[in-house]
Structure 1
Amino acid sequence: MSLPKFQSFGEAAWKDSEPLECAMVVPETSDSATFTFRAPSGAWFDYKPGQFITLELPLPGGTIPRTYTISSSPSRPLSLSLTVKAQRDSIGTRWMLEHLKPGVRIKAFGPAGVFSFAHHPAKKYLFISAGTGITPVMSMTTWLWDTGQQPDICFVHAARRPSEILFRERLEHMANRTPGIQLHFVVEGLDEFRAWPGYRGRLNQIMVGLMAPDYLEREVFCCGPEPFMQAVRDMLNALGFDMSRYHQESFQAAAETEEEAQAQKAGDVVPDQTATAEVTFAVSGKTAACTQTDTVLAVARANGLNIPSGCTFGLCGTCKVKKTAGEVHMVHNGGISDDDVAQGYILACCSKPMGAVTVEA
């Protein structure tokens, strides 16, 4: 039996003037897959871990552009991989899953993007991701592993179920061979007849503290749906993290410049200890002045009012009260449901008034 001929590097790096050729398709879950591409000329791929690429997808109704983060690492330069997951309203990704096969050539642009630790080198990293937001941090982790740099990575990933954790086996393979990669998975639900020893629920402050006790010393890279990233930013802000060491990328709207990356997190609501606020307690008829960094529970206690409470950090739900006016900034740890929030309820222990607020207490 003859051996396959060795394919050496081309004379130069791939340029987007040359199409990509699909070389392999690996199913990941029922609605996700990894597509591996190569350059027909044999050129090698040069990019920074965490960058993205834009494909021109030839749909029947016309060509549409779609941006995907590269899940492979430039330490393996003969190919380039994209791991994609079809959402309910996906058009381009659904076409890829159904029609993009080995041998098909497709126009691509890039690589591009600034979401990479190449721009923010550090001794210790905290990677936080959800869903296919795992792709850029997977690329960064693989780079550190391949280059033998003895990484110090706390890798936190959230998924709907254990069976939907992308790259789980590859991550465990690396983590089993170095103490510098610590894996933490959080799932919302379980798979039938499969035991799950990890975290369950939504990622919260308590989990972050348990997973990465030294989080204040780490450079944080976060990627996932915007509501997930907003929750992570709120948690880190509440924990006193230096947000200049926080970096994010949305797989729905990747940032091409550092200015865009900063703008994605510039609209966060952060209570200001110098800004005045007030809380009106409707049942007792009292109105008390405070600052935006005081909690509703602390204001009540300071004014001789009793709101039943337990844990005081947003977990038990004992201090749930209804807010009838105004806005609060609430960062809880699972002690209140989305339905309760939609109906106007808050947890007094972790809700801070952002102006004039009225509660039924």
Structure 2
Amino acid sequence: MTTYENLAPLEPTDAARRFTDPQTWGTFGAQWNSGEQKTLVCCAVYPETHDVKTFVFRCADFSALSFEAGQFITLSPVIAGQPIARCYTVSSSPTRPFAFAITVKRVPGGLVSNWLHDRLQPGDCLRASGPAGSFTPVGIPAKKWLYLSAGSGVTPLMSMTRTAFDMASDLDIVFVHSARTPTDIIFHDELQGMQARMAGLRVLHVCESPGTTVDWQHPIGRLDLPLLSQHVPDFREREVFTCGPQGYMEAVKSLLKDARFDFAHYHQESFDITVLNAEPVIEQAPSLDQASLFTVTLSRSGKTFTMTGTQTVLSAAKKAGAIVPSSCSQGVCGTCKTALLEGTVDMNHNGGIRQREIDKGLRLLCCSKPTSDLVIDL
């Protein structure tokens, strides 16, 4: 009788090998792709710390989310009768695309974060735009990684770590997370559990103070060059990914600069919630006649309006009364990604769109200015 114990070992197939390579992360052939909007159903809500919760979703049509570890989706809850868009990193792994999660810190005065914490319950529905963002290890041929995070900046790095764990990767990962106190550490127990079962993962927590924890064994203070050199002496040989508050990321860049780190191997999450309502700064094409008037037609609604070359298509469309999903207005989040059916634009983005999407005719309306009459898929 053939039993599990005496089965002959199988030769790994090419399909199996690709799941151990970070260059293939996110390419699982799922169905909810970048640029699409879906209705999401909240499946579960879990507390992580006293001010952080994880929200688990599935697509209402049961399609799967195709994303790369480190990317984010844009939620658009309706608050006081108005849809409000905010970007949140997917904290779960793309290896589990049918139920995916975001992990949100309650921000004092934060409209959406407080609504999520206080109002969103399992069974509730809301709209969301498909994944975007270039803060991802996909396509980077490295074996040694250093993840540096602080506060809720842990979420994209947690997605990357969960992905490596799920795929039984042989990567060498050092994950250094900073928090105010041990009770503020997000995913503490899960990271410790993964470290115990994944030979290539080492986790280090750094806290400003021990708080009420009496047996804290990890470093106290803030991450600096002596601490990093002591605990990760080979950090100069690693691919570095960092995410956290702006001050933290500036401090990390400063200490790495002092250490003569090669910034060709440095990656930083550039999305900053504080600039959501700022106007994008876009360089002008030298040949663009800014005084020209262009006609823009929205193919689905039939709405037509005129605009100058000094305006972004997004701002002009909103002034004309068009409903256009948007969030950062900086060419970062990808929420306003829309198909340009006819015409040309001058687009200067900040990573919110991939070249393959541009090749398919998609454009970010928030950082695109017309150079001809346009027809847009809205």
Same fold (TM over 0.5): yes
| Deviation of 1:120 (Å) | 2.2
Aligned ranges 1:74-153 → 2 under 5 Å? 74-153=94-173
| Deviation of 1:18 (Å) | 2.3
- Matched position secondary structure for 2:190: helix
Aligned to 1:17: 37
Q: Deviations over 1:240-261 (max 9, x none)?
A: 0001110011453484589736
Q: Deviations over 1:100-146 (max 9, x none)?
A: 11111111012000000003231100000000100001000111111
Instruction: Indicate if the aligned counterparts of 2:89 and 2:156 stay in contact, CA closer than 8 A.
Output: yes
- Matched position secondary structure for 1:120: coil
Find 2:350's aligned residue among 257, 260, 266. Answer: 260
Aligned to 1:173: 193
Find 1:54's aligned residue among 57, 74, 78. Answer: 74
Q: Deviations over 1:46-66 (max 9, x none)?
A: 100000011112111622111
Aligned to 1:247: 267
Aligned to 1:63: 83
Q: In structure 2, what is the Cα distance between the partners aligned to 1:12 and 1:238?
A: 43
| Deviation of 1:194 (Å) | 2.9
Q: In structure 1, what is the Cα distance between the partners aligned to 2:108 and 2:119?
A: 18
Aligned ranges 1:302-341 → 2 under 5 Å? none
Q: Deviations over 1:183-234 (max 9, x none)?
A: 1100012232532110111110011111211111100000001110000000
Aligned to 2:308: none
Q: In structure 1, what is the Cα distance between the partners aligned to 2:66 and 2:30?
A: 9
Aligned ranges 1:210-221 → 2 under 5 Å? 210-221=230-241
Instruction: Indicate if the aligned counterparts of 1:22 and 1:35 stay in contact, CA closer than 8 A.
Output: yes
Residue 162 of structure 1 pairs with residue 252 of structure 2: no
State which structure, 1 or 2, has the greater radius of gyration over its C-alpha atoms. Answer: 1
Runs of 4+ in 1 over 2 A off after TM superposition: 14-18, 250-262
Q: In structure 1, what is the Cα distance between the partners aligned to 2:258 and 2:88?
A: 31
The residue type paired with residue 60 of structure 2 is: P
The residue type paired with residue 176 of structure 1 is: A
Q: In structure 2, what is the Cα distance between the partners aligned to 1:132 and 1:56?
A: 20
Find 1:31's aligned residue among 41, 51, 59. Answer: 51
| Matched positions, count | 252
- Matched position secondary structure for 1:20: strand
Please report the RMSD computed on the Cα atoms of aligned residues, expressed in angstroms.
2.0
Aligned to 1:281: none
Q: In structure 2, what is the Cα distance between the partners aligned to 1:132 and 1:147?
A: 24
Q: 1:259 to 1:158 in 2, by over 3 A?
A: farther
Question: Percent identity over the alignment?
Answer: 40
Structure with higher RCO (Cα < 8 A, 6+ apart): 2
- Matched position secondary structure for 1:260: coil
Q: Deviations over 1:157-208 (max 9, x none)?
A: 0001101111111111110012211111000122325321101111100111
Instruction: Indicate if the aligned counterparts of 2:38 and 2:130 stay in contact, CA closer than 8 A.
Output: no
The residue type paired with residue 58 of structure 2 is: R
Instruction: Indicate if the aligned counterparts of 2:30 and 2:66 stay in contact, CA closer than 8 A.
Output: no
TM-score by length of 1: 0.66
| Deviation of 1:77 (Å) | 1.4
TM-score by length of 2: 0.64
Residue 187 of structure 1 pairs with residue 277 of structure 2: no
Instruction: Indicate if the aligned counterparts of 1:25 and 1:34 stay in contact, CA closer than 8 A.
Output: yes
- Matched position secondary structure for 2:192: helix
